[in-house]
A = this chain, B = another copy of it.
């Protein structure tokens, strides 16, 4: 498996390139529209062919590159069937599996930050979007956010993965690039032991965060797969 982590400085978003060397097929997870040229150049330089784009959710802080990548390469766009945009080529259910060459991409529904949140398990990695960040998690105060739902998603669908699984988050704001499930179970101050569901709900209810700077433009654009409506 070819694996590359890419970073968008403006929104602190991680984009991931995964590639299957034998077939030359590749996918991008959470591409940002402003970085589509960079990402396609890298796909090409590595001798790969983009066949799929996966979004972990309908983002509120940046516009997805999915629609642009589909136009330019014919890659199929993938979102969750629960709250994902109708413009997606493939709407995924919990436990859907999509193949990128020989790489199985297993969709795991992890709602709570938004209804549309889907994590993707590929080999020994899980791409968690905003459901689980390094020592943190996405907020739950807009876009169908629900703390109790997020708690249950993480405990049931992510913390049951093997401890050695690498956590590849959609963002980081403190200079971390990855973690593991074992680490987050032990060390995540919001979702790890000894936190409880009620404690998490109370903590998230007190955050009082300002709205994301680009929310009013990002959400409508992402509901159109990243193309302006």
Contacts and interface: CB of A to CB of B under 8 A. Distances in A.
A38 B174 contact: yes
Q: Range of interface residues on chain A?
A: 20 to 34
B4 A175 contact: no
A98 interface: no
A155 interface: no
Contacts of A9: 9, 175
Interface in A63-78: none
Interface stretch (A85-93, A146-154, A176-184): A176-184
A45 B178 contact: no
A204 B176 CA distance: 33
Contact of A177 (B5, B45, B176, B186): B5
A9 B176 CA distance: 11
Contact of A175 (B7, B45, B175): B7
Contacts of A15: 175
Contacts of A6: 175-177
A193 interface: no
Contact of A4 (B8, B38, B46, B178): B178
Tell me how many chains of this kind the complex includes: 2
B187 A38 contact: no
Interface string A160-200: 00000000000010111110000100110000000000000
Contacts of A175: 6-9, 15, 35, 38
Interface string A40-56: 00100110000000000
Nearest to A7: B175
A182 to B, nearest CB: 10
A187 B4 CA distance: 16
A7 B15 CA distance: 16
Given A35-B175, A177-B177, 15 more contacts: A4-B176, A4-B178, A6-B175, A6-B176, A7-B7, A7-B172, A7-B175, A7-B176, A7-B177, A15-B175, A38-B174, A38-B175, A45-B183, A45-B187, A46-B183
Q: Which 6 A-B pairs have the closest CB atoms?
A: A7-B175, A5-B177, A6-B175, A45-B187, A8-B175, A6-B176
